[in-house]
């Protein structure tokens, strides 16, 4: 509700061209998925704002990358170091794609003005809260059911609700010495990937097909930057995978 109200206030004060991209960037520090849902709702209700809303939706992922770097630095510096290149490439992709949309707003017609209306929709907020709650319960159930073997699954499921929660879970295990720092890279990427699925679903379900076609390619580009950076940095290794997800039969794959 706060993210939606922030976007409404920025539109009213700054206009759609500047207000929506800036509110998207700021809202991403709270929840990029919620921000994309809020932008999609505005784009669906006011089609003339679709381009500005798409810019705000993509720029919210910039905040996701920045906050991801901050929480990793606070939790485990060795893990943050191994995630440096993936975060740099993913952040660069988010900035570049968002900048393209922001520059296109300069040619937007004068009809793209912030409309009057309500600051937020309680139904949308309650639906998002219920979705996040259900995903977190599912992640906790998998972790309890499968134990250590299901940690990777639990971290990925947590990513559907919040990428930062998934990253903190994996980095905390490394900080406690339960897994090596390099083994945290894969679950972090899985969590971010799951969160990207949540964002894409929110963009399609709330914003409609045209909004999704403008937003989802940017999300995929960011994801490609993260995975590509991990591959270039050598952060995804077979022994790291085996050490994080031990064999169910009790046979260790790590020398």
pLDDT digits over 111-124, tens only?
A: 445 555 666 667 76
* pLDDT for the residue 189: 92
Q: Is the pLDDT of residue 95 over 80?
A: yes
pLDDT digits over 15-71, tens only?
A: 666 777 887 888 787 778 888 988 898 888 888 778 888 888 888 999 889 989 998
Residues constituting the chain:
255
Q: What is the C-alpha separation between 190 and 121, in angstroms, rounded?
A: 31
Burial grade of 146 (CB within 10 A; 0-12, 13-18, 19 or more) = middle
- Mean pLDDT (whole number) for 100-127: 64
In b/e form, how buried is each residue of 39-76, taking b as 16+ CB within 10 angstroms? bbbbbbebeebbbbbbbbbbbbbbbbbebbbebbeebb
Ranges assigned E (strand) in the chain: none
* Long-range contacts from 140-146, C-beta under 8 angstroms, 24+ separation: none
What is the model's pTM?
0.76
* pLDDT for the residue 3: 62
């Amino acid at each position: 509700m706060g993210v939606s109200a922030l976007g409404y206030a920025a539109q009213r004060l700054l206009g759609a061209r500047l207000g929506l991209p800036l509110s998207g960037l700021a809202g991403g520090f709270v929840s990029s998925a919620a921000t994309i849902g809020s932008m999609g709702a505005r784009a669906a209700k006011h089609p003339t704002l679709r381009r500005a809303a798409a810019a705000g939706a993509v720029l919210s992922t910039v905040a996701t990358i920045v906050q991801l770097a901050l929480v990793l630095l606070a939790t485990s510096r060795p893990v943050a170091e191994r995630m440096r290149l993936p975060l740099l490439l993913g952040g660069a992709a988010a900035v570049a794609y968002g900048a393209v949309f922001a520059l296109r707003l300069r040619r937007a017609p004068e009809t793209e003005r912030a409309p009057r209306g309500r600051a937020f929709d309680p139904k949308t907020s309650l639906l998002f809260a219920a979705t996040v709650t259900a995903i977190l319960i599912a992640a906790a159930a998998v972790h309890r059911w499968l134990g250590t073997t299901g940690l990777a699954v639990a971290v990925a499921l947590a990513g559907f609700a919040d990428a930062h929660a998934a990253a903190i879970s994996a980095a905390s295990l490394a900080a406690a010495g339960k897994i090596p720092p390099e083994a945290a890279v894969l679950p972090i990427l899985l969590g971010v990937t799951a969160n990207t699925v949540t964002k894409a679903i929110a963009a399609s379900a709330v914003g409609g097909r045209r909004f999704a076609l403008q937003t989802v390619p940017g999300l995929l580009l960011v994801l490609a930057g993260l995975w590509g950076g991990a591959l270039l940095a050598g952060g995804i290794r077979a022994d790291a995978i085996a050490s994080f997800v031990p064999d169910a039969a009790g046979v260790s794959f790590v020398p």
